[in-house]
Structure formats: structure tokens, C-alpha cells
Amino acid sequence: MSVSPQSQTGQETPSPFEPQGIKARYKPPRSIIDPDRTKGWIRRILPVVLAHKGIFITSLIFAFIALIIQIAIPRILMQAIDQALVVRKSPLMFFVWLLLGLAVARCLFAYAYRYLLYRTAYLIEFDLRSIMYEHLTRLSFSFFDRVQSGQIISRSNSDIRALQMFLIFGPFITIYMLTFCIALGLMLTIHVPLAIVSLLPLPLVYLVALRMRQLMFPISWIVMGRMADLATIVEENVTGVRIVKSFAAERHQIKLLARAAQALRWAALRQINIRATYSPLMENLPRLAMALVLLYGGYLAIQDRVTIGTLVAFNSYVIMLQAPFRMLGFLMMMSQRSAASAERIFEVLDTRPEITDRPDAINLNDPRGQIEFNNVTFSYADGPRVLSNLSLKIAPGETVAVVGRTGAGKTTLARLMARFYDTTEGALLIDGKDIRALTLKSLRAHVGLVLDEPILFSVSIHENIAYGRPNASFDEIVEAAKAAGADQFIRELKDGYDTIVGERGYTLSGGERQRIAIARTLLVRPRILILDDATSAIDVKVEQEIHEALRNLMHKRTTMIIAHRLSTISLADRVVLLEDGRVAAEGTHAGLMRTEPRYAEVLARAEEEAGRQEIVTKVETDKEDRLTKAGVGGLEEVLKEVADV
């Protein structure tokens, strides 16, 4: 029995079924966020900060020393004025050199604490991003079905950055508050009544800060949410730029973006208005203390009850008392924005994956490839039934084509096989074992899936093909490319296998992307192969060449082909017709054509749709050139032609 062991940070140790292409250069996060949802957000995230407590505490100590030196300077300045300038009991140069030494020391400590503080900040940010990304890789497909990618990107970037800023600068500003107490203590040792006068405006500052905190939290949440909405629109327009341009929908998308930006603008202006109202109050109320000190202290100085040096020192200390309150507005704004960001991050991290390994899950080792759908019923979240009591057996080494109308549940079978989702009822078995009792890594290592819409990464073609086996030799990669009918067009590219493809591989045609995706799966040599309309964008001549290679590769390999083309169905030993989420009929192609009119109807519609799609694709390919020649006036004519087709 095998389980997936986990480290203390919550990360799984590498599985023998995972592709290990490179050696990790960086250590995983030293800690994770506290999973206890009853705790406040600071307590939950504290373990991540304390994981770097050595460098963090050192930076705070250096910051404290630098501030202590700053506090000592007015006291020394007071003695210099009173003893060296007024009564002339001490040499002036002694105080000059002392102040110069303190200035150099403060400069060095300030440099040290700033360097260490920012280093800690980026270490914490690295950990938070790693924790977020690692958790996203665990989440089930149902999460990504309901959450927009822009929301995920926003929470992984701007929300983490807001959190990092507060976690670092919050304690630093707290040290400033500590220096407030020390400065106040020194003021009390010099002159108690004057120190009390300097504190009179501070209760008002506290009340203003409290009101600002109450207003900032809800508006900060709204701002972060609307930033995520804006990111979603941008992300969808960038990834779907070809669709936007093909429908000449740029102006419509700009309106959507403008509407989202306007909503963000309102919330951001509301946030700025709160800051503009309350921050100046918090910053300037302490300045009343300076006026009161000058008024009362001047009166005392005239009466010779305090020295000039005392008055100068008090003036400097009052300025120091103001510094924490000048930062208080910034701290309050950061704290509320960070609280909102933390809650948004926790929404993701507190989401538990629905598809996980059982504690007693076993590895799927050397499977024979027998597949059995046993009374399987399935529906997507809050959706109608897609499969209903479906039963189907596929023998080891058998090739089965699954045919059916759109929405019959063909692609769902492929998703269930890779356990992207779990069955609602019934069971899916491989070699007689319920796949829910198998480890995900071992299951997916033996189930190769080629989708009808292949996604490539923005790396070289070589790296795309070797994605599942990063350590594969170049000869093995070429062999897989030849089997997928991709070797010839790859070698015709300028950089061959080292050609960098664009985002999602859109610099290549649909058929070329599909062939690379087939090669990527074949290189892994899965025991169970699922082709989900994997040659739909490939012309018939190339498809025939791929089929010849696939016939050899599918030998002794269990294969499920989700197909519409008759040429693809010819690869199968048996054909299964799905209708309304059930197996309506099964047999050979010839037998079904003779006995099952629904099968013939499905194929006829598929061939008609394939022919129509070829025409539409040709029209879409020429459309941009024709629009350029015809101008805006020709737009309606071209769109009408596409609609007629």
C-alpha cells in the first residue's frame, strides 16, 4: 500500500510517477498559513513571517538602534547648547564630534535594517506565492470552472503584494510607536508639565484613526475585487484576441473595460477621499502640540524656568512624536487593505480540493488496461445529468471509438477516466480497481489524454513535446513527433525543434498544435490512450499518415477514441454509440450502419458539420485581408457571407 507522503510544509514529496525534468533550485516555503479559520488573519499568516524570524528580528533590532540614536541626538543637542554655548562649561568640539559619530552610526544601522527588511519582504512574498500556486495545483477542476482566471491572478499578485507590504512595514511602524514612548519618557525627565502639554492633541488623533479604520475596510475589499474584475477582462481579451478581432468586437470590449475601469475608479476615488479626509487630520493634529510647546515653553523660557536647550530639545521631540502619527494613516490604510487582501487569499487557500487521494490509496503499477464503467451517473455542479447509469467495458489492448451527438457525454468519459471529476453515482474501474482507490499521480501517469483543443506552452517545441518526460532523449522526441505526423513541418520551421511557440501555441495552425499534442502524449507511452477528437483540425491526408503510425502505437494499448470522422472511427475494433448519457448501441462500424439508423444519422451530421467548418475556416482565414481592401464598408458583406455559410 502506498500513500503520498507530505513534508511539514504541507507539500508532497516527489512521486515516482511525476515528471522530474529539473532539479529544484529553491527550497519550498518553510511554513504554511494556519488552517484554523477561527483565528484572525494576522494570526493565521504569522507562521509564514516567523519562518524568517532570524533575519526579520535582526532588521527590527537595527531599526530600533537607529531610532534610539535619533532620539539621543536632541538630548545631546540640548546639552551642547546649555553647556557649550550658554554657560561654556564644556568644549563645543566634543559635542560636534559626538553628533557626527552618531550620524554615521545611524546611517550604517539604517542601511542595514532597510536591506534586511526588504530582503525579508521578498522572502515572505516568495513563500506566499509558492503557497498559493502549490495550492492552486491541488484544486479540482470544479474550482476553475466557477472562478475566473483574472480573479486568481489578482489574488496571486496584487493581494499578496498588499499583504507583504503590511507584514513588513507594520512592525517597523510599530517600532516608531515604541520610540514615541521612549521620547515621551525623556521629555518627562526634562520637564513634566511641558511634556503633558505636548500630549494634549493625541486623544483626538486616536479617535480620527478609529473612524478611518471603520471606513477603510469595506472600501478596500471593493477596490481589490474590482481590480480583479478588470484583470479578468484584460486576461480574457488577451487570450481571446483572435475571437475579438474576428468579430470586429474591439469597440464592444473597450466599452466593457471602460465600464469595469469606471467602477474601479469610483471605489478608488472613495478610498482616496477617505485618506484625503482623515490622513491630514492625523498628521496635523500633533502639530498643535508644537504650537502649545512653543507657547508654554516660550513663556517658561522668558521666566528662566527652562533653558533654551530644553526648548530646542522639546521642539525636536515633538517632531518625533508626530512621526508615528504621520505614519499612522498609512498604517491604517495598509492594514485595512491587507485585511481585505488576506480574506480574498484565504478564500482560495481555504477551498479544499474535491479530488484527492484517499489515506489508503494505492499506486497503479503496470496496468493491463481493462476499463469498466459500472452504472456511472454524472452531472457537473448544479447542472443536468450528463451520464445516466452508463455501463461499458473495454478489454485490455482494445480500441473503442465513442460516437454521439453533441452533449451526449463523450468528452465527459475522457475527463472521468483521468479523474478530473468523480462520478456522481456508480464506479469507474481499471483492472477491477475503483480509480478512487488509486493515487492520482499513478493514475494519470498511465492515462494519456489528447484533447480536441490542445494547449501549448510558450517554450520551444522540443520542450512542449517533452513536457511529460523532460529527461527524454532527442531521438525519442523525434520518434514521437514522427508518429504524430509533426516531424516534417517542425523541421521546416526556422529553428526546427528549438522554435519558440507563441502563447498557447497560437503561432502554429490548429492542426500543427494537435500533432504536437499527440506527440507529447505518445512520448509518455501511456498504457491507456484517450484521443478526444484529437485530429479534428488535421486535413484528411495528414490524418491518414498519423493513423498508420497510431495503428502500430496502439497495439497492446487500450485506446478510447472520441471521434466524428469516419476515417478516425476506422481505427477502432468496436464502436459505441452514446445517446442521452447512455450506451445506445455498440458493435462494428459496418454492423451499426446496417442495424442502427441513429448511428448513421450521427455520422451524416458530423460529416456535414465538418464540411461546413472547413468552409467557415477558409472564409475566416481570408477575412482580415478582404476587410483591409474593402474598408469598413465591406464589413457587413463579409460578416453576412460568414453567417450564410
Predicted pLDDT at 538: 66
User: Which has the higher per-residue pLDDT, 645 or 196?
Assistant: 196
**Cell digits of residue 253:** 470590449
The whole-number average pLDDT for the span 584-592 is 88
Q: Among residues 506, 501, 503, which one has the least CA distance to residue 490?
A: 501
Q: Which of 84-88, 342-346, 385-389, 528-532 has the lowest mean pLDDT?
A: 84-88
The whole-number average pLDDT for the span 189-210 is 79
Report d(CA 13, CA 591) in Å as an integer. Answer: 51
Q: Is the per-residue pLDDT at 527 higher than 80?
A: yes
CA 134 from chain centre, in angstroms, equals 9
Amino acid at 624: E
The whole-number average pLDDT for the span 409-417 is 89
Phi, psi of 257 (to 5 degrees): -65, -40
| Percentage with pLDDT > 70 across the chain | 84
pLDDT tens for residues 295-317?
Answer: 888 888 788 787 888 878 877 77
Provide the pairing of β-strand 399-404 with 558-562.
Answer: parallel
- Residue located via cell numbers 455501463: 391
The whole-number average pLDDT for the span 575-590 is 89
The single-letter DSSP state of residue 10 is S
Predicted pLDDT at 42: 85
Mean pLDDT, the chain, integer: 80
The whole-number average pLDDT for the span 64-73 is 87
Residue 541: pLDDT band (50, 70, 90) is: low
Predicted pLDDT at 392: 92
Instruction: Work out the number of other CB atoms within 10 angstroms of the CB of residue 395.
Output: 14
Residue 603: pLDDT band (50, 70, 90) is: confident
Predicted pLDDT at 433: 92
CB 183 within 8 A of CB 71: yes
Q: Is the per-residue pLDDT at 371 higher than 50?
A: yes
- Residue located via cell numbers 475566416: 620
User: If phi over 0 gives left and psi between -120 and 50 gives alpha, with beta otherwise, what is residue 352?
Assistant: beta
Predicted pLDDT at 642: 42
CB 70 within 8 A of CB 102: no
Q: Is the per-residue pLDDT at 459 higher than 50?
A: yes
Residue 615: pLDDT band (50, 70, 90) is: low
Longest dimension (CA), the chain: 121
Q: CB within 8 A of 531, min separation 6: which ones?
A: 450, 518, 559, 560, 561, 562, 563, 568
Label residue 163 exposed, middle or buried (CB < 10 Å: 0-12, 13-18, 19+): buried
- CB under 8 Å, gap of 24 or more: what pairs does 125-128 form? 125/160, 125/161, 125/164, 126/26, 126/29, 127/29, 127/30, 127/31, 127/48, 127/51, 128/48, 128/160, 128/163, 128/164, 128/345
**Cell digits of residue 610:** 465538418
Predicted pLDDT at 71: 85
Which domains can be identified in the chain, with CATH numbers? 41-218+282-349 (1.20.1560.10), 371-595 (3.40.50.300)
Provide the pairing of β-strand 399-404 with 425-430.
Answer: unpaired
Predicted pLDDT at 621: 43
Q: Is the per-residue pLDDT at 434 higher than 90?
A: yes
Q: Which of 75-89, 208-222, 454-468, 629-643 has the lowest mean pLDDT?
A: 629-643
Predicted pLDDT at 636: 46
Q: Which of 44-53, 185-194, 318-327, 329-338 has the lowest mean pLDDT?
A: 318-327
User: Which has the higher per-residue pLDDT, 210 or 42?
Assistant: 42
Q: Is the per-residue pLDDT at 52 higher than 80?
A: yes
Q: Is the per-residue pLDDT at 260 higher than 90?
A: no
* Residues listed for the chain: 645
